[in-house]
Structures are given as structure tokens and as C-alpha cells.
Amino acid sequence: MSDLISVGQMGYYAKWFFKSKVGMKRPLVNTMIINFNCNLHCKHCSISGNVDKLPNPFQIDFENAKREMREQYTKGARILFFEGGEPTLWKDGEKDLRDLIQAGKDLGYFVIGYTTNGTNPIVENSDVVSVSLDGPKEIHDQIRGEGTYEKLMENLAKTTHPNIFANMTIMRHNVDSVRETVELVAKNDRIRGIMLNFITPPPSDIALTLEEKKRVVELALQMKKEGFPILNTTKALRDMLIEDFGGLCQDWVSAFVLPDCSHYGGCPLKGTESCKKCGFDAVREYRLIVKGSPSAITQMSRRFAYSKK
Ligand SMILES: C[S@@+](CC[C@H](N)C(=O)[O-])C[C@H]1O[C@@H](n2cnc3c(N)ncnc32)[C@H](O)[C@@H]1O
């Protein structure tokens, strides 16, 4: 895999950036929640906690998925991320996640990725894979279920995929395990780095106080200085402490599509209490990119904006 973005792709990103400066707000990312089904019931997951309230169908079919991919591509999106539920469980007849990824490539998306709990084998034709890692074995299993850590490590050991990173959601259960989790990632040669996020409520009872968040951010900044592979930019880490991020979020950077084909020009949580208390690092990085922050643009593009050759 080349660490370089092709000249054509670079030109497209530059054009997108300058157009956004003159008010042409077009999505660059297409986030598709392709299913709500999951084999786990994680403590912090608002999807598994609200299955009875979710719109049907629970998964998008292949033809609709292709149509939605095309629609957002036409609007400008060039980075495609599949989310769930658990994306590796997605199936439509003979088609599986590998076929969705190939369909995205055929349409011309530059980069395609997905997030997974890692209990199924890594899907190799994805450019980027984000594996959820919420702590060392005991803590990860407490949050995600018995045996899930071992399964994730087994599947990582079997892959040679070059662009896997870990995604940690920090909540009451794992707030004291951040250093240990980052150290585990640093030692694992299959994982390139870790993105730290705070839980977005609901559920609220396991969310962190501002004081606890400050301690995590200080620790993360210190570990970055020590050379640990924390992928959040320094500025975004500081922005994790902004208590109401709602009015600051440049949510239009990513389109959202749900399994019932409803789509959003930005985040489905916009305007809600969850939006105010959003703990996702990515939305801080989007804002910094739109503001023209050189560190966010270079660091995020090196990690998420290039294709597997
Ligand atoms: C919804 S999951 C879907 C993909 C897959 N099933 C998994 O576990 O990675 C995507 C990511 O969102 C995170 N997540 C789930 N609920 C969250 C919440 N309430 N706040 C912040 N992140 C959350 C998960 O930990 C995971 O890393």
C-alpha cells in the first residue's frame, strides 16, 4: 500500500476544501449504517439498547445500498464508511460486506472502510478497518461480552491487512484503563494506532464527568508526547473538553444513510441532547479540517484518506 494519495485524489480534496470556503457545503464522507443486527450487546451501545424503537428494515438490501452510494457519490462524497450493527454480519443472498466494498470501489470512492467488533474475520478488500477495542481483556469482555477480546485478537493474528486501527469508547468501566489499552495497541503489530472517544449518551449513567474527561485528555496528550500511537490530533483532544459541541459540529462533512434508506445531510443525532454531549473524536477532526488546520488535514489524510493499492 502506498502512503501517498494519488495526485487526482489530492486535487479533489483540495477542490472540496476551497469550495467549502466559499459556502459550497458538500459531503466528503458517506457513513452508511447498513444494518442494526449485531451479535453483541455492548454496555454503551444505544443501538442494542433500543432495538424495539429502531425503524425497520434492520438492514439495507444490496440494490438500495448501491443506489444510496451512488447518490452520495454524486453529491460529492469520496470516502465511504460502513457502520452497524455489525457490518460483517451484513448479507443479501449471496452478497456480503466484501461485495458492498467492491460496489463502492466500482463507483469511484477513493477510500472505503468499516467498523467492526472483530468477532468475524477481517474483510481484506477494505482500505481501512476500524476495530473496537475498549480495554484490556477483562475490561473489554466486561463491556462487550465474554470471549470477545480473544476472538478479536485471534482475527487480528490471522490478517495481514495493513491499515487497521483501534477505536476506544471511554466510559465509567474503562476510564482507568486508557494507558493500558494504548500500550496494548502500541505492542500489537497488526494495529497502526488508536482513536480515543468518549461515550455519547445515552446511556448517561456510565458517561464521564468533565473532571474525568480532563484527566483522560491530559493522559492522552502526555502519551502522544511519549510517542504512543494515539491518532487523535492534539487540537481535537483539547476540543473533547468542549461541553456543548452541538453548535460547532460541521456535520455536513458526512452524509448518513440508515438501513431504511432514510438519509441525512449530517448526523441523525443533530439537535438532540446526544448531539450536545457528543463524544466522537471524528467530528472534532472534521471541524478542524474545515477550519484548515494543517495538523488535522495531514494527520487524518495520512490515516484515512488513501486507498489500499
Ligand atoms: C455502533 S458500533 C458498530 C460497529 C461494530 N458493531 C463495533 O462494535 O465496532 C461503532 C462504534 O461506535 C461505538 N459506540 C457504540 N455506542 C456508542 C456510544 N454511545 N457513544 C460513543 N461510541 C459508541 C462502538 O464502541 C464502536 O467502536
What CATH number is given to the structural domain containing 224?
3.20.20.70
Question: Which residue of 45, 149, 284 sits with most ligand 1 atoms within 8 Å of its CB, as the best mutation to test the pocket?
Answer: 45
Residue type, position 160, single letter: T
Domain assignment of residue 2, yes or no: no
273 located within any domain: yes
pLDDT of residue 195: 98
Asked if residue 299 is part of any domain, the answer here is yes
Best probe residue, ligand 1, of 128, 169, 199 (max atoms within 8 Å of C-beta): 169
- Ligand 1 atom index nearest CA of 45: 16
Q: Whose CA is nearest to atom 22 of ligand 1?
A: 199
Do the domain assignments include residue 118?
Answer: yes
Q: State residue 1's pLDDT score.
A: 41
CA 83–ligand 1 middle distance (angstroms) = 9
All three cell numbers of 12, joined, read 479533489
On whether residue 167 sits in a domain, the answer given is: yes
In 134-293, at which residue ranges do the beta strands (DSSP E only) sit?
A: 164-170, 194-198, 254-257, 263-264
Distance 15 CA to ligand 1 centre (A): 32
* Nearest alpha carbon, ligand 1 atom 10: 115
**Degrees, nearest 5: CA angle 90-115-127:** 95
CA of 59 to the centre of ligand 1 (A): 17
For residue 262, tell me if it sits in a domain: yes
Three-state DSSP state, 118: coil
By alpha-carbon position, which residue is closest to atom 14 of ligand 1?
Answer: 45
Residue 105 lies in a domain: yes
Residue that the C-alpha cell 431504511 belongs to: 260
Amino acid sitting at position 205:
D
What pLDDT score does 309 carry?
Answer: 53
| Lookup: cell for 178 | 486508557
List the pLDDT tens digit at each of the 309 positions of the chain. Answer: 445 568 888 899 999 999 999 999 999 999 999 999 999 999 999 887 777 778 788 999 999 999 999 999 999 999 999 999 999 999 999 999 999 999 999 999 999 999 999 999 999 999 999 999 999 999 999 999 999 999 999 999 999 999 999 999 999 999 999 999 999 999 999 999 999 999 999 999 999 999 999 999 999 999 999 999 999 999 999 999 999 998 999 999 999 999 999 988 889 899 999 999 999 999 999 999 999 999 998 888 877 776 655
Residue 229's pLDDT is: 97
Residue 73 forms part of a structural domain:
yes
Distance (Å, whole) CA 180 – CA 183: 5
* CB-based pocket (< 6 A), ligand 1: 38, 44-47, 83-84, 86, 115-117, 132, 167, 169, 197, 199-200, 279
Ligand 1 atom at minimum distance from 134 CA:
25
pLDDT in the model for residue 2: 43
- Residue 96: enclosing H or E segment and its boundaries? strand 95-96
**Domains in the chain, number:** 1
**Residue 155 is part of which domain span?**
7-304
Kindly report the pTM of this predicted structure.
0.95
